[in-house]
Chain A
Amino acid sequence: MTARVGVVVFPGTNCELDVVWAVEHLGGAAELVWHGRTELDGLDAVVVPGGFAHGDYLRTGAIARFSPVMDAVAAFAAAGGPVVGICNGFQVLTEAGLLPGALQKNAGLKFLCAVAEVRIEAVDTVLTNQCSVGDVLRIPINHFEGNYVCGRATLARLRDEDRVVARYVDNPNGSLDDIAGVCNEGRNVVGLMPHPERASEMLLGSADGVPLLRSLLVAAGLRADQPVAG
């Protein structure tokens, strides 16, 4: 059965169609989920995509976390459903308490729009189950607030529990411990600053996002051996 991925849309989200395209390109089905929705019926996975949810007023993700859909996302995650936050979606998930830490302004105070190399550090998550530890992927970053921070105890725990999912090879934004992505305890909620959907086809300059998105589809129920394009 085709995995059905819900892509959350807040006012100000702007990467939802890229995610929909990439999911469908890889053989999944995608559905936009307006932020006022209070259920996620029929969905096998949820992506909180990039953009500027609610204008990112106050702090990135600070207002978005109170959108009605976030209670449904939290319940979906608590039930073990795969949830991935990309860029602004990562920020929303940290504000919502579904992932630890926070993302603040880049250390260089510059908006970064570039291709970053990230090394996959954990492969038993919903976003990396089709990767190998040590894989280096070239994936675009596009953010002003991608500088991951957390308390010392949280960082120790993330390391001990192997919850740093990806690290930058050459840290572009000052992130603590070069962190580009982390997961929750259940490993079914992952946040990643780089945009795999923008590296889902060679025409875009890189197809290195494909193993990540395919991992999500696998987690969402698509059989790994089902032929997918890309």
Chain B
Amino acid sequence: MRFDARVEVTHLPGILDPQGAAVERALPALGYDNVGAVSVGKVVRLSIDAVDAEAATAQVHEMCARLLANPVIEAYRVELSVAEETIPA
């Protein structure tokens, strides 16, 4: 089966997020003075072939731990969905 995975990588709580802090400082300048806890992260989308959702999820988590995120400073969240079937040839 083919799945689509969406991996969201964010700063670990307590680790200074310079980009988030800069955005948070910029927003009040536009009049948005009710915003806090701004965090800037990244999203990695990928497709993966696996026997089932459990296997796909396990592999994506493994790839996160080994490459897609740095556990020293980053947390990650994985969302998985069944890929829309491509039209057969």
Contact = CB atoms under 8 A, between A and B. Distances in A.
A95 B65 CA distance: 12
Contacts of B22: 109
Interface stretch (B28-36, B46-54, B67-75, B76-84): B67-75
B67 A104 contact: no
A102 B16 CA distance: 12
Given A58-B67, A62-B70, A149 B15 contact: yes
A174 B73 contact: no
Interface residues of B, number: 10
B72 A151 contact: yes
A107 interface: yes
A88 to B, nearest CB: 15
Contacts of B70: 59, 62, 95, 102
A63 B72 CA distance: 16
Contacts of A95: 70
B36 to A, nearest CB: 19
Contact of A109 (B15, B18, B68, B72): B18
Contacts of B72: 94, 100-102, 149-151
A128 interface: no
A36 to B, nearest CB: 19
B19 interface: yes
A84 to B, nearest CB: 21
Contacts of B19: 105, 109
A58 B68 contact: yes
Given A102-B73, A104-B73, A149 B16 contact: yes
Interface of A: 58-59, 62-63, 66, 94-95, 100-102, 104-109, 147, 149-151, 174
Interface of B: 15-16, 18-19, 22, 67-68, 70, 72-73
Task: State the 10 A-B residue pairs at the shortest beta-carbon distance, nearest first.
Answer: A102-B72, A102-B73, A105-B18, A107-B18, A109-B18, A109-B22, A102-B70, A149-B73, A149-B15, A104-B73
6 contacts: A62-B67, A66-B67, A95-B70, A106-B18, A109-B18, A149-B73
